[in-house]
Amino acid sequence: MPVGGPRTPLRVAIIGSGPSGFYSAEHLLSQDDVNVQVDMFDRVPTPFGLVRAGVAPDHQKIKSVTRVYERTAADDRFRFRGNVEVGRHIDHADLMEYFHAVIYAVGASADRRMGIPHEYLPGSHSGPEFVAWYNASPLDRARTYDFSGFRAVVVGNGNVAMDIARMLVLPAEELARTDMARHAVTALAEGSVREVVMLGRRGPAQAAFTPKELREVAERDDVDVIVHPDEVALDPHSRHDAEQHPDRNRDQNLEILRELAARGDRGRDRRIVMRFLASPVSLHGTNHVEAVEVARNELYRGDRGALRARMTDDREMIPTGLVFRAIGYQGVPIAGVPFDPLAATIPNEAGRVIDLLDGSPRYGEYAAGWIKRGPTGIIGTNKPDAQETVETLLQDLRAGHLQRRVPSRRVLARLVGERQGDLTSWADWQYLDGVEQEMGAEVDAPRIKFARVETMMRFLGERGGS
């Protein structure tokens, strides 16, 4: 019987339950001419990846995309297997034995380092880990942060950096009405941070945050956004690019930044200071961060005409005890799967994994999302990306590359159940989802998230499991 036919379903494992994973599942299950079964695995008990653990708590509208994923999960051919970690409960060999194809949609879970002296002093933190902490990720619940100082420094000029800055200055009562983790709401409310300095390596014309993110803080009446007029002025290279190559996002950012520079300091209690052409050179302190040494940068034309930043001898010290690096995410290797350490992605061609040594295709193994292309784009960018990967998989199926026998889904369920007794199903998630929303309704918040796996398991156990 051919794989994908009425009696021999194409069995596909999707590793990761974020947007790229769900868009891959959606496209697979939409095939009218292929009989498909999809098993989705995630190392935490809850689905949705960075939609749940990365999107800012005050951006609830963005999180509504999960309704689309819920429709996919309602398909009888779909199974969610949460709290199952590849490399611990199942490994690469298991995936190859039990599935015709595997799609790695694991995202980019690590962050980029600054590569400066004393980067690991206490008080210096990963921005992505901080985001996961305040979004109630069970993987980051145990982290601690000292908010007792007046000033924090955020290294980066993208949306993640802007989210971090905003979370640090929003009033506690406003944070409490979001789905921010309760431990984070409490810690930030008890803290003393009133000023956040954002450091951008390049100029205002190269800032990676969106106008929407910038406008969100600029329009607040209770927070000052300080921009130095001399730093928002364009250098000759940036001015030339702005005149010759219109860009809507860039031009809107520049317009808002100029307005902020003209507005100046209004004397508000909380403030975000936006610095451009500024790079951290070193962190200073003995047993804890006490200051960031910052270099003034200048722009020059690099390879292929790209504008690049280089440090000058102009230096300054910014006193602080709290630093977050938010300069990007990067992928991490999966045991048994090829990995390009320079790009921090799984090497692939249109989603099909390739061997780094000889460039040969690894039929049956595919990548989607950030682990495929790098950490670029927005949530919606993952949809065409996932569709391309699935189309490649289907091409391989039709070409006969996936025609082999695999054990039934029941055998897989028995194997996983023996290795991880606390796995969660989609029904389990629906129950937890309902409880979170009920708890949130009591305090006028969208939900109160579970931040500990053991708490989730206790609630499921008291309900009787599924």
3-state helix, strand, coil in the chain (%, to 5): 35, 20, 40
C-alpha dist (Å) from residue 73 to 16, 198, 385, 391: 14, 40, 20, 20
Alpha carbon dihedral 162, 166, 169, 172, in 10-degree steps, equals: -160
- Which residues of the chain does CATH 3.40.50.720 include? 10-109+331-424
CATH of domain 10-109+331-424: 3.40.50.720
Contact in structure between 295 and 282 (CB atoms under 8 Å)? no
Separation of alpha carbons 158 and 213, rounded Å = 9
Nearest Cα to Cα of residue 371 among 391, 342, 343, 349: 343
Which amino acid does the sequence have at 448?
I
Q: How far apart are CA 207 and CA 21, in angstroms?
A: 29
Q: What is the pLDDT along the chain (466 residues), one digit of tens a residue?
A: 799 999 999 999 999 999 999 999 999 999 999 999 999 999 999 999 999 999 999 999 999 999 999 999 999 999 999 999 999 999 999 999 999 999 999 999 889 999 999 999 999 999 999 999 999 999 999 999 999 999 999 999 999 999 999 999 999 999 999 999 999 999 999 999 999 999 999 999 999 999 999 999 999 999 999 999 999 999 999 999 999 999 999 999 999 999 999 999 999 999 999 999 999 999 999 999 999 999 999 999 988 888 999 999 999 999 999 999 999 899 999 999 999 999 999 999 999 999 998 999 999 999 999 999 999 989 999 999 999 999 999 999 999 999 999 999 999 999 999 999 999 999 999 999 999 999 999 999 999 999 999 999 999 999 854 4
Domain 111-328, CATH number (from 3.40.395.10, 3.30.2090.10, 3.40.50.150, 3.50.50.60)? 3.50.50.60
CA dihedral of 19, 25, 31, 32, whole degrees rounded to 10: -120
- For CATH 3.50.50.60, the residue range(s) in the chain are 111-328
pTM over 0.75: yes
